[in-house]
């Protein structure tokens, strides 16, 4: 058995002059939920396409279950499932028909498929609606159906592009629960997302990508801890003109102006300075609001790139 599920070493892919994936390197362990986090256009989908072999790379090495997807596409595809960003199902066919269609294309052994279809549809809470045209399904149901389809041929790795894009909160949690349940059964997931909460809740480890390059790679907790500081967001009237000078001596490490009157401060220990901070502002300005928070993945992204993930 291969040591790790996926190994990527300096993978590069260009589209003309645009470098969509720029020397990305990471490794995914078996049974892990690994996240590719980055804004739209960061290169996440391109990276997934390199893993499936849909795209050829311009440089670097990629191994999926020990095989190069570019050279051994069939072996890789037999053992991986791919859920694209768009819900690509036949809307006029039923859920069962869509799964049978997938079975004919992907399943090595067709014996016992009927039972597998039934159990997957039950797992995804779609069994009651199995004969209805998919056109009548909600966004969350369609997404669950696509996940069921990707699992039908019992792949070892599932590549999931934006799992909960466009689905409601309830469906989102249901999809996360299904992914985590399947991970519990030994499946490996590579999930691409630009949703910080999703990456935070779902992923064991993640790589943050921007403009095709690695920004950071670790567990969500460690990424936040590595930041080593708290975040203080405050709004004043009038705006503080020169914040770096204004907050001198308070241990403020980074100041970012979010709005003309809103500042974001990174401090090592917010609780120890908050009293003095409020007193200093109160002497010359009116403090409209203040918020102290532990760093989020967005803060990690902001710290590394100077802009918010959702920009």
Partner 1 sequence: MTRFLLLLYNEVKLFRTTALIHLVAILQPAVLYLLMTTILVHPTFDLNVNRPGSDLEASLLAALEQVGSPIGLPYVNPILVDWDGGPVVRQVITVEEREGVPTAVQYYGPIDSNLVKNFRNRLTAAALRLWDAELGNRAVNVEEHAWLPRDVSYNVYFGLALLPMAAFLAAALTGAALTAQEFEFRTMVEYRLAPAAPGLILGARLTRLVLSALVAAGILLVAVGLVTHAWPRELWLVALILLPLAVIAGCLGIVAGLVFRKSIPAFLVALVATFAGWILGSAFGLAASFGTGYQRISRLTPFTHAVELLFPRYFGATVGSPVVSAATLVLMAGGMIALAALAYRLRVVRQEGV
Using CB under 8 A as the criterion, which residues of the chain lie in contact with partner 1 when the complex forms?
Answer: 14-15, 52-56, 58, 70, 73-74, 77-78, 82, 84, 86, 88-93, 97, 100-106, 108, 110, 133
Closer residue to partner 1, CB minimum distance, 109 or 221:
109
Say what the alpha-carbon torsion angle 74, 10, 192, 186 is, to the nearest 10 degrees.
60
Closer residue to partner 1, CB minimum distance, 97 or 218:
97
Closer residue to partner 1, CB minimum distance, 161 or 210:
161
- Nearest approach in angstroms of CB 16 to partner 1 is 8
Closer residue to partner 1, CB minimum distance, 90 or 258:
90
In the numeric block, which tokens belong to residue 149? 């389809």
Given strand 230-237, what is the order of strands in its sheet?
A: 252-259, 262-267, 230-237, 286-293
- Nearest approach in angstroms of CB 162 to partner 1 is 14
For 56, list phi and psi in degrees, rounded to 5: -90, 145
Residue with tokens 């590069």: 12
Mention every residue, 6+ apart, whose C-beta is less than 8 A from residue 106. 77, 78, 152, 153
Between CA 221 and CA 205 the distance in angstroms is: 9
Closer residue to partner 1, CB minimum distance, 91 or 278:
91
The DSSP code for 133 is: B
- Nearest approach in angstroms of CB 110 to partner 1 is 6
- Nearest approach in angstroms of CB 223 to partner 1 is 31
- Nearest approach in angstroms of CB 119 to partner 1 is 19
């Amino acid at each position: 058995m291969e040591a790790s599920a996926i190994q990527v070493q300096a993978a590069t892919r260009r589209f003309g002059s645009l470098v969509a994936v720029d020397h990305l390197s990471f490794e995914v362990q078996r049974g892990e939920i690994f996240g590719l986090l980055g804004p739209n256009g960061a290169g996440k989908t391109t990276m997934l396409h390199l893993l499936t072999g849909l795209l050829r790379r311009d440089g670097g090495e990629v191994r999926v279950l020990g095989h190069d997807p570019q050279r051994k596409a069939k072996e890789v595809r037999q053992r991986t499932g791919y859920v694209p960003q768009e819900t690509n199902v036949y809307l006029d066919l039923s859920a069962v028909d869509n799964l049978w269609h997938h079975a004919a294309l992907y399943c090595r052994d067709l014996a016992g498929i009927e039972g597998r279809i039934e159990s997957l549809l039950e797992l995804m809470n779609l069994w009651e609606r199995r004969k209805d045209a998919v056109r009548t399904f909600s966004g969350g149901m369609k997404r669950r159906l696509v996940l069921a389809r990707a699992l039908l041929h019992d792949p070892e790795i599932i590549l999931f592009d934006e799992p909960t894009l466009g689905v409601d909160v309830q469906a989102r949690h249901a999809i996360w629960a299904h992914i985590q349940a399947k991970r519990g059964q030994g499946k490996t997931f590579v999930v691409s997302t630009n949703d910080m909460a999703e990456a935070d809740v779902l992923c064991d480890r993640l790589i943050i990508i921007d403009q095709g390059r690695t920004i950071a790679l670790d567990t969500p907790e460690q990424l936040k801890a590595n930041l080593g500081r708290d975040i203080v967001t405050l709004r004043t009237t009038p705006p503080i003109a020169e914040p770096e000078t204004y907050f001198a001596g308070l241990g403020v490490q980074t100041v970012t102006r979010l709005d003309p009157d809103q500042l974001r401060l990174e401090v090592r220990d917010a609780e120890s300075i908050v009293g003095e901070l409020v007193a200093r502002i109160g002497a010359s300005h009116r403090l409209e609001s203040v918020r102290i928070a532990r760093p989020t993945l967005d803060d990690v992204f902001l710290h590394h790139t100077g802009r918010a993930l959702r920009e």
